[in-house]
Amino acid sequence: MASVRPSAAVPGPAPVPVPAPGRADGEIHVIVGPMFAGKTTALLRRVKSELTGGRNVAIIKSSKDTRYATDSVVTHDGMKFPCWVLSDLSSFRQEFGDDAYEKLDVIAIDEAQFFEDLYDFCSTIADRDGKIVIVAGLDGDYLRRSFGSVLDVIPLADTVTKLTARCELCGGKAFFTLRKTQETRTELIGGADIYMPVCRQHYVNGQTDADAAEILMKSGIRTDFFLEAASEV
């Protein structure tokens, strides 16, 4: 009688990695929008909520952003919160300290478009270390192109919030950032002196409307007629 050889075992699916024992699943939440859309305000609101819930939180911002303070995250309307100021995210754990890092529950990152290592950092601390990451930054530059690595993080995210501002020329919803100067560098840090939030129509119309509004305001001529006309175009 012929012997029957046992068949080779069929390999099963690869095991799904699980968080280390005693740690909650990590999360990534992304907040994007044009300038003056309230991204930092939304970030700080979420931070306050996490603190109220008893979680340990650290905030990081780029060392490139020195507009309002060098050691705090500050909104355009003056709300502020102390933070860690770094040139790259990979140095955070060393700067913060291993013991303190292990006790952290939430890491919030403001002006995230300035960090080249954003994707790897978010992936590591959420997937491996089981922490909550809140990312706030511009999704596009003044040319409406992807800015930094913020959009790269979206496939990793649990939630994505797209905020809008108020168009300075017509009062409608502003989805884009218009640069008022002729400077062509992608990274040109500034505030209302350099940028304005605009709707699609006034972005496409471009610099013409911005220049006209500035000329009228400097001349002392009433600008409400211009703004009303611009909103009807």
Query: What are the tens digits of pLDDT across the range 74-126?
Result: 776 667 788 889 999 999 999 999 999 999 999 999 999 999 999 999 999 99
Residue 50 has pLDDT above 80, yes or no: yes
Q: Cα torsion at 100, 101, 105, 110 (round to 10°)? A: 110
What value does the mean pLDDT take over residues 207-231?
Answer: 49
Q: Which residue has the tokens 């309230």?
A: 38
Please tell me whether 195 is known to bind a ligand: yes
How long a stretch of residues is the chain?
233
**Confidence label for 67 from pLDDT (cuts 50, 70 and 90):** low
Q: Which residue has the tokens 């209302």?
A: 192
- Closest by Cα among 135, 82, 131 to 105: 131
Residue 233 has pLDDT above 80, yes or no: no
Reading the block at residue 134, the tokens are 């809140």
**Confidence label for 19 from pLDDT (cuts 50, 70 and 90):** very low
Of the listed ranges 51-60, 157-166, 208-217, the one predicted with least confidence: 208-217
- The residues that are catalytic are 111
- Closest by Cα among 98, 196, 186, 181 to 145: 186
Q: Name all domains of the chain by residue range, CATH numbers in brackets.
A: 27-163 (3.40.50.300), 164-233 (3.30.60.20)
Task: For the chain, give the percent of residues with pLDDT over 70.
Answer: 74
Strands 159-162 and 27-33: parallel
Stretch (H or E) spanning 136:
strand 132-138
What value does the mean pLDDT take over residues 161-181?
Answer: 94
Mean pLDDT (the chain, rounded): 82
How far apart CA 165 and CA 181 sit, in angstroms, is 20
Q: List all residues 6 or more positions away from 104 whose beta carbon is below 8 Å from its beta carbon.
A: 56, 57, 58, 96, 131
CB 111 within 8 A of CB 61: yes
Q: What is the DSSP letter of 125?
A: I
How far apart CA 69 and CA 80 sit, in angstroms, is 9
